[in-house]
Structure 1
Amino acid sequence: MFRFPNHHNAFLSLKRNIQPGLSARTKILSVLEARVSTARKISRETGLSYKSVLYHLHLLEAENILHHKGRRIYVWELTGIGQQTLIAGK
């Protein structure tokens, strides 16, 4: 079975990092790197349940990796921290 590498921002400092959570957050971050999106759209694109997407979005928000805009329907986007990529050798 082929495994995709985990996104570097999928690792959380405030929670225990286990493979299912890392995989879910990697999928979510991949969608948000391409465009801002709602939790419902992220759920459809990733195949994750809506509740699971919301759970991980809130975890990532607590780590300041992303934030939401709007009132009733949140649109999620990456913060400056979430947009940073790892630089080799630094």
Structure 2
Amino acid sequence: MSVHPKAFLSRKRNVREGVSTRSRIIMVLERKPSSAKAIAEEAGISYSNVLHHLRLLEEERIVRREGGKPYVWKLTGVGQLRLIDVPLR
């Protein structure tokens, strides 16, 4: 499993399992904004675990929720970039 650079949090201890879980969530959201339930199903992670990590990512402004319940979660563009995402000058 590859690790997504946006999965590392600045305010929390980054244990391997948490980084891996957040990476899977972010990869789902890179494809399309989704509800927590849809993320859980697509990533193969429990719903409660997805909610926990979405809240951590929201605290760091990496994701945001829109609309009413069920919220649609989206990436904000904040966070570390992959090298392929950095424009060359």
Fold conserved between structures, TM > 0.5: yes
Question: Quick one: which of 72, 75, 82 aligns to 1:78?
Answer: 75
Question: Quick one: which of 18, 41, 44 aligns to 1:44?
Answer: 41
Aligned residues: CA RMSD: 2.0
TM-score normalised according to structure 2 size: 0.88
Structure 1 residue 46 displacement after superposition? 0.8
Counterpart amino acid of residue 68 in structure 1: R
Three-state SS of the structure 2 residue aligned to 1:80 is coil
Structure 2: runs of 5+ lacking an equivalent = none
Report if aligned partners of 2:36, 2:47 keep a CA contact under 8 Å in 1. yes
Q: Which whole-Å CA distance do the structure 1 matches of 2:80 and 2:6 have between them?
A: 9
Q: How many residues align?
A: 86
What is the match of residue 55 of structure 1? 52
Structure 1 residue 80 displacement after superposition? 2.3
Segment of structure 1 superposing worse, 80-89 or 55-64: 80-89
Report if aligned partners of 1:67, 1:78 keep a CA contact under 8 Å in 2. yes
Three-state SS of the structure 1 residue aligned to 2:64 is strand
Q: Does structure 1 residue 20 correspond to structure 2 residue 17?
A: yes
Structure 1: runs of 5+ lacking an equivalent = none
Q: Which whole-Å CA distance do the structure 1 matches of 2:41 and 2:68 have between them?
A: 21
Deviations 1:30-88 (A, max 9, x none): 00000000000000011110000000000000001010001221000000215954339
Counterpart amino acid of residue 61 in structure 2: N
